[in-house]
Chains A and B, each alone.
Chain A
Amino acid sequence: MKRVLEGSHAVAEAVRLAKVQVISAYPITPQTHIVEILSDYCSTGKLKAKFLRVESEHSALAALIGAQSSGVRTFTATSSQGLALMHELLHWSSGARLPIVMAEVNRALGPGWNIWMDQTDSLAQRDTGWIQFYCEDSQEVLDTTLQAYRLAEEVNLPVMVVLDAFFLSHTYEPVDIPDEKDVDRFLPPFAPKFQLDTANPCSFGQLVTPAFYMEMRHDIDRAMDLALVRFGEIEEEYARIFKRRYGAVEAIQCSDADIILLTSGTVTSTCRLVLKALRDRGEKVGILKVKLFRPTPAEQIRGALKSAKKVAVVDRNCSFGAGGIFAQEVRAALCNLPGHPLVYGYIAGIGGRDVTPELLEEIYWKTKNSEVPEKESVWMGLQEVAHGTQRS
């Protein structure tokens, strides 16, 4: 059934269809619409889940760790400072191998206070052992959330479904809402591989000595590798039922491209228009959309980029002192590939600033016209500002 939905509500629909049993969240813009509608579903019985109100994001995730350990399907959503506050428990949930699913609406971190789009919040959590998906539109958000549960529960790792603040979370688009029976076929009830059981009490996650800890961590890394394989299989199955697939990466006209723009999130949609315009003028350009950030689909990235001369990475984030994070990841994936393309890093659209077709075209021409990258990352579209800390 097609409905015009906000990106946030597309998440909520997926959570409803996934028959999540425990939701715990703390409100934060721009995520709040998601849990608002879910709490409404819980109160009206549209979703038979326990909605736990807590005093912080830290507690929200802690509550889900408890709930998930007892063998139920769980969900939370957050943004920005909220995610940062969860940091400790992000590590805990992956370490405890709990298949928690979270919607993360990318928002800039303060100060200065800024509620708009910026990927730094989620990318800063890249080492926590969470699988991360970056979505382009509301349909993808819904589909990815459903797939996230399958993937999480198969490999016993938590999944973050990431969507852009406002550009996606608050934008209305037509979304095909799958039939409940079809979803049930794709996503059967959660069958935990281990759980707390009052009939046979035990505790999980206690002290592990150096003799075993390393193996536990190795297992998480192996599970990440496995996730890459399983995600492909899950997408196959999803496509068979729902006729939609996205891929861990999507290579658009990359095979003959000299320059490939590498994007993630909603910038990809803008870039598709720029691609058409440039191709019409005879430019050999392609797009590599990266949807799966963790585990890194390095093989697929290399495959898509190997024949290009240059890659222009558009980063809506910054690891201060090291440049754009996607650019770093791409460089890491390519460095051992003989004759690999040059990587041009661009930082754009930080803190909710628009990434316009003109800006993307400028990035293209800048890349085409420079023989080597001038530095690790170039900040695009900066304006002149008066610096200084004194009051004038």
Chain B
Amino acid sequence: MAGSKVQKIDIPLFMPRSYMSTEVNKTGSWRFLRPRYDEKTAPCSAACPAGEDIARIEMLTTQGLFKEAWETILKENPFPAVCGRVCFHPCEGVCNRGEFDTAVAIHVMERFLAETALRYDLKPLLEQSPGKKEKVAIVGAGPSGLSAACFLNRLGYACDVFEAASEPGGILRWGIPEYRLPLPALRSEIARIESAGVRIITNKRLPADFAVGAKGNYDAVFIGCGHGRTTMLRIPGEDSSGVEDGLEFLNRIRRGAKPPVDGLSAVIGGGNTAVDVARSILRLGGKAVILYRRRRQDMPAFQEEVEMALEEGVELKELLAPARIVKDRKGLLITMRPMKVAGEDESGRGRVEPAGGKTQEFRVRRVFKATGAEAVEEWLNPPGRQRNVLLLENCVLVNRAKGPAVVFGGDLTNETKSVAHAVASGKAAAIALDTFFREGFKAVRSRLKSCAVGNGKALSMEIYMGGERRLRNPHVVRFGEINTDYFHFAPRITQPRLMKEERLNTFKEIDLKISANLAIREAERCFNCGVCNRCDNCYLFCPDLSVIREQDLVGRHVNYDYCKGCGLCVVECPRNAMTLEEEKR
């Protein structure tokens, strides 16, 4: 070894020593495995219909970067204040933390960030494409229409939104009770969309031939009028007075009316509308019983909502289908036919069929129909498979030979009728139209595919607009890929709520606000699957000092001159933001 020398002292002391830096020895040449920073896709973000970058949102929240976290939501979803409250949060169902203790309360944090933005009147700074010459008309100012307008506006298109009602919001404004979605939360989100440049024209009901006539004024039309009419029960006595439309009932309450609900009312259905109607009846002083043809676990309504409804005093009768309604002097007599479970459908929901046997009768003052909804007008329904029609996920694009292109979206096309899916619809429409205008009809499908989150159904506007997120590996991180040694068990936040007694005589919001402290603590439970939060385990564990922290303290890179490919960094990365692969020489 260079520099060895003998000590000239009276005791034998022959020692190797070197004055040369060990940097001459490029140990990287020994490597046959190569670690690299490789951010991946979190399961929550792939499961979110709006494709929100949840792992990153929680990471920013833990750092107290509330505005940045909120903006990260807004990149994919213009409705955090709404979705934080009413979304059915499929993200939490697939949360890897659920296999460790309990899923992260993602929706609670979403609402917290939205509240924080509202409280400090934050103005988001989002990427905006330069203006384009094309103009788009949006029919219906519900969540899908407003989302389409918001995203198209961000892509540089001028948008006019036409709304038949006196105020925008659609189902959010007229269908969801105030105790779940208070008005200020909704109005602030719509105001933000308007202030970005979207024009909303209310009290404007458009004719069926609008799309044809729009030629010259608009280059495309987005139709997102939703399902505004409750489906028929198709049973005798359905037209009797006292049989009411559930959606219409909710609408009247949201318009400020207090419809009479004295005595017992029957609500037919198992979706959120049925539950909303029943709980609203309670708040107006009545009693409600939900009659549902399947079982409680098959109800499309959110489990938590059902639970709270029962807690508040709503009754639930399962496996009963309506047979007929008779009106007499004492009110309504509704006859229910018993049903039985006969297997399951693909989604695991019980399939039912008549059980035979004795029918049951319920004596009620009113019956509310809440068995589902449909489009108000026939022309609002999208066309089927044709050469000039693209049946896309959450929207349908029609390339018409004459006149502007038409996109159908929202509940008109969505299999799952949720706000998050409405947002997904608006986003898909915006990307589809931008691609259609710039690259043509044929390019649309592959372009949409290229901005999918984790190769799933959700689309990312950030990926489409060329943001950093496009570098994410579409691989969806599994629980087994998380190094749970770096996490300890922590209970999920308990959503503070109004007490049951407080809820019953008011439409005040039930879910209360949480403090920043609690939000940060909950965000810290997030594994940030696949996303680097700069914990620096890689830096600390690298035995070859080959993890280099960049000057900005944000970036990290591997010095391949010396990295021997031991893989410690990859193994010790708690969140699978690195990958070890075979060295190709």
Which residues on A are within 8 Å of B, measured CB to CB? 96-97, 154-156, 193-194, 200-209, 212, 215-216, 218-219, 222-223, 226
Give the chain A neighbours of B16 by CB distance below 8 A: 204-208, 212, 216
User: In the complex, what's the smallest C-beta–C-beta distance from A270 to chain B, in angstroms?
Assistant: 38
- Of A156, A206, A208, which contacts B13 at CB under 8 A? A156
Q: Is B19 an interface residue (CB 8 A)?
A: yes
Q: Is B18 an interface residue (CB 8 A)?
A: yes
Q: Is B22 an interface residue (CB 8 A)?
A: yes
Whether the Cβ atoms of A193 and B9 lie closer than 8 Å is yes
Whether the Cβ atoms of B7 and A193 lie closer than 8 Å is yes
Whether the Cβ atoms of B15 and A204 lie closer than 8 Å is yes
Whether the Cβ atoms of A215 and B14 lie closer than 8 Å is yes
Q: Could you write out 26 A-B pairs with CB less than 8 Å apart?
A: A155-B11, A156-B13, A193-B7, A193-B9, A194-B7, A194-B13, A194-B15, A194-B17, A200-B19, A202-B17, A202-B18, A203-B17, A203-B18, A204-B15, A204-B16, A204-B17, A205-B15, A206-B1, A207-B1, A209-B1, A212-B14, A212-B16, A216-B14, A219-B13, A223-B11, A223-B12
Q: Which of B12, B15, B22 has the most CB of A within 10 A?
A: B12
CB nearest to B12 among chain A residues: A219
Give the chain A neighbours of B15 by CB distance below 8 A: 96-97, 194, 204-205, 216
Whether the Cβ atoms of B19 and A201 lie closer than 8 Å is yes
Q: Is B4 an interface residue (CB 8 A)?
A: yes
Alpha-carbon distance between A223 and B12 when the two chains are bound, in angstroms: 6
Whether the Cβ atoms of A223 and B13 lie closer than 8 Å is yes
User: In the complex, what's the smallest C-beta–C-beta distance from B312 to chain A, in angstroms?
Assistant: 56
User: In the complex, what's the smallest C-beta–C-beta distance from A48 to chain B, in angstroms?
Assistant: 29
Give the chain B neighbours of A215 by CB distance below 8 A: 14
Give the chain A neighbours of B4 by CB distance below 8 A: 208, 212
Q: Is B3 an interface residue (CB 8 A)?
A: yes
Give the chain B neighbours of A203 by CB distance below 8 A: 17-18, 22
- Of B1, B3, B14, B17, which contacts A219 at CB under 8 A? B14
Alpha-carbon distance between A203 and B16 when the two chains are bound, in angstroms: 8
Q: Could you give, for residues 5-29 of chain B, a 1 whenever the CB lies within 8 Å of some chain A CB and a 0 otherwise?
A: 0010101111111110010000000
CB nearest to A215 among chain B residues: B14
User: In the complex, what's the smallest C-beta–C-beta distance from B13 to chain A, in angstroms?
Assistant: 6
Give the chain A neighbours of B3 by CB distance below 8 A: 202
Whether the Cβ atoms of A208 and B12 lie closer than 8 Å is no
Number of interface residues of B (CB under 8 A): 15
CB nearest to A203 among chain B residues: B18
By secondary structure, the B interface counts as: loop
- Of B7, B11, B19, which contacts A226 at CB under 8 A? B11
Alpha-carbon distance between A218 and B12 when the two chains are bound, in angstroms: 9
Alpha-carbon distance between A204 and B17 when the two chains are bound, in angstroms: 4
Alpha-carbon distance between A378 and B296 when the two chains are bound, in angstroms: 82
Q: Which of A154, A203, A208, A215 has the most CB of B within 10 A?
A: A203
Alpha-carbon distance between A48 and B18 when the two chains are bound, in angstroms: 32
Alpha-carbon distance between A48 and B62 when the two chains are bound, in angstroms: 43
Give the chain B neighbours of A194 by CB distance below 8 A: 7, 13, 15, 17
Whether the Cβ atoms of A156 and B14 lie closer than 8 Å is no
Alpha-carbon distance between A219 and B7 when the two chains are bound, in angstroms: 11
Give the chain B neighbours of A206 by CB distance below 8 A: 1, 16-18
Give the chain B neighbours of A209 by CB distance below 8 A: 1
State the 4 A-B residue pairs at the shortest beta-carbon distance, nearest first. Answer: A219-B12, A222-B12, A202-B19, A219-B14
Give the chain B neighbours of A202 by CB distance below 8 A: 3, 17-19
Give the chain A neighbours of B7 by CB distance below 8 A: 193-194
Alpha-carbon distance between A205 and B3 when the two chains are bound, in angstroms: 12
Give the chain B neighbours of A223 by CB distance below 8 A: 11-13
User: In the complex, what's the smallest C-beta–C-beta distance from B8 to chain A, in angstroms?
Assistant: 11
Give the chain B neighbours of A204 by CB distance below 8 A: 15-17
Give the chain B neighbours of A200 by CB distance below 8 A: 19
Alpha-carbon distance between A201 and B3 when the two chains are bound, in angstroms: 12
Give the chain A neighbours of B9 by CB distance below 8 A: 193
User: In the complex, what's the smallest C-beta–C-beta distance from A233 to chain B, in angstroms?
Assistant: 13
Give the chain A neighbours of B13 by CB distance below 8 A: 97, 156, 193-194, 219, 223
CB nearest to A222 among chain B residues: B12
Give the chain A neighbours of B14 by CB distance below 8 A: 212, 215-216, 219
Give the chain B neighbours of A201 by CB distance below 8 A: 19
Give the chain A neighbours of B1 by CB distance below 8 A: 206-209
User: In the complex, what's the smallest C-beta–C-beta distance from B16 to chain A, in angstroms?
Assistant: 5
User: In the complex, what's the smallest C-beta–C-beta distance from B415 to chain A, in angstroms?
Assistant: 56
CB nearest to B10 among chain A residues: A226
Give the chain A neighbours of B22 by CB distance below 8 A: 203
Alpha-carbon distance between A205 and B4 when the two chains are bound, in angstroms: 10
Give the chain B neighbours of A222 by CB distance below 8 A: 12
User: In the complex, what's the smallest C-beta–C-beta distance from B7 to chain A, in angstroms?
Assistant: 7
User: In the complex, what's the smallest C-beta–C-beta distance from B30 to chain A, in angstroms?
Assistant: 15
CB nearest to A155 among chain B residues: B11
User: In the complex, what's the smallest C-beta–C-beta distance from A26 to chain B, in angstroms?
Assistant: 22
Alpha-carbon distance between A212 and B16 when the two chains are bound, in angstroms: 9
Give the chain B neighbours of A212 by CB distance below 8 A: 4, 14, 16
CB nearest to A96 among chain B residues: B15
User: In the complex, what's the smallest C-beta–C-beta distance from A156 to chain B, in angstroms?
Assistant: 6
Q: Could you give, for residues 273-312 of chain B, a 1 whenever the CB lies within 8 Å of some chain A CB and a 0 otherwise?
A: 0000000000000000000000000000000000000000
CB nearest to B2 among chain A residues: A206
Alpha-carbon distance between A226 and B16 when the two chains are bound, in angstroms: 21
User: In the complex, what's the smallest C-beta–C-beta distance from A328 to chain B, in angstroms?
Assistant: 27
Whether the Cβ atoms of A156 and B11 lie closer than 8 Å is yes
Alpha-carbon distance between A207 and B9 when the two chains are bound, in angstroms: 23
Alpha-carbon distance between A205 and B22 when the two chains are bound, in angstroms: 13
Alpha-carbon distance between A209 and B2 when the two chains are bound, in angstroms: 11
Alpha-carbon distance between A315 and B412 when the two chains are bound, in angstroms: 94
Known: A97-B15, A208-B16. 14 other contacts (CB 8 A): A96-B15, A156-B11, A193-B7, A193-B9, A194-B15, A203-B22, A206-B1, A206-B18, A212-B14, A212-B16, A216-B14, A216-B16, A223-B13, A226-B11
Alpha-carbon distance between A200 and B3 when the two chains are bound, in angstroms: 13
User: In the complex, what's the smallest C-beta–C-beta distance from B555 to chain A, in angstroms?
Assistant: 29
CB nearest to A230 among chain B residues: B11
User: In the complex, what's the smallest C-beta–C-beta distance from A282 to chain B, in angstroms?
Assistant: 49
Alpha-carbon distance between A17 and B450 when the two chains are bound, in angstroms: 75
Give the chain B neighbours of A208 by CB distance below 8 A: 1, 4, 16
Alpha-carbon distance between A202 and B5 when the two chains are bound, in angstroms: 13
Alpha-carbon distance between A94 and B4 when the two chains are bound, in angstroms: 18
Give the chain B neighbours of A155 by CB distance below 8 A: 11
Alpha-carbon distance between A208 and B19 when the two chains are bound, in angstroms: 15
CB nearest to A208 among chain B residues: B16
CB nearest to B3 among chain A residues: A202
Alpha-carbon distance between A320 and B11 when the two chains are bound, in angstroms: 37
Alpha-carbon distance between A226 and B12 when the two chains are bound, in angstroms: 9
Alpha-carbon distance between A215 and B15 when the two chains are bound, in angstroms: 10
Alpha-carbon distance between A219 and B4 when the two chains are bound, in angstroms: 15
CB nearest to A220 among chain B residues: B12
Alpha-carbon distance between A273 and B420 when the two chains are bound, in angstroms: 93
